[in-house]
Amino acid sequence: MKKILIIDDEVNVSLLLSKFLTRNGFDVTTAATGTGGMELLKNVGFDLVLCDFRLEDTDGREMLKNIKSQYPKTGVIIITGYSDIKMAVELIKMGAYDYITKPLYPDAIKLLKPTTPWLTNLKLRQWQGGTMAVK
């Protein structure tokens, strides 16, 4: 079973994503702070991190930089309540797979492109009549 870490200080967002991903066969863990998320990464290891951009103790840019330097094979998706194209481009260039704005709906996760290596390895997506679906 593939492991996903959700780092978000909004309990409702974490709960929604956790339930959705668990129902779809993933082992999901949540953290409310960047420090807590990095500690979990160190002790457990994850295939994918869904990380809020604005956390109590850090921001998504720092989290992405730390995750990619310490765990380069871990995919990272940044989620945020603030849509900023320049920031999205910067984060993608830094190695984020995607930048998704809130409100976040589980269907947004279904629509991600299946071209990145970690996503292909997760087998989260399959083509069905030209659209993406969770396996």
| pLDDT higher at 92 or 102 | 92
Residue type, 80: T
Q: Quick check: helix, strand or coil at residue 92? A: helix
Long-range contact set of residues 83-91: C-beta below 8 Å, sequence gap at least 24: 87/53, 87/61, 90/61, 91/60, 91/61, 91/64
Per-residue confidence at 67, pLDDT binned at 50, 70, 90? Answer: very high
CA 54 to CA 60: how far, in whole Å? Answer: 6
Rounded mean pLDDT of the chain? 81
User: What pLDDT does 77 receive?
Assistant: 92
Contact 45, 3 (CB under 8 A): yes
User: What pLDDT does 1 receive?
Assistant: 59
For 94, the enclosing helix (H) or strand (E) is: helix 85-94
Give the mean pLDDT of 75-87.
88
**Where are the chain's structural domains?**
3-107
User: Residue 97 to residues 11, 33, 34, 57, 75: CA-CA distances in angstroms?
Assistant: 23, 20, 18, 22, 7
- 47: Cβ contacts below 8 Å, ≥ 6 apart: 2, 3, 4, 74, 75, 118, 121, 122
What is the pTM (predicted TM-score) of this model? 0.79
CATH code given to domain 3-107:
3.40.50.2300
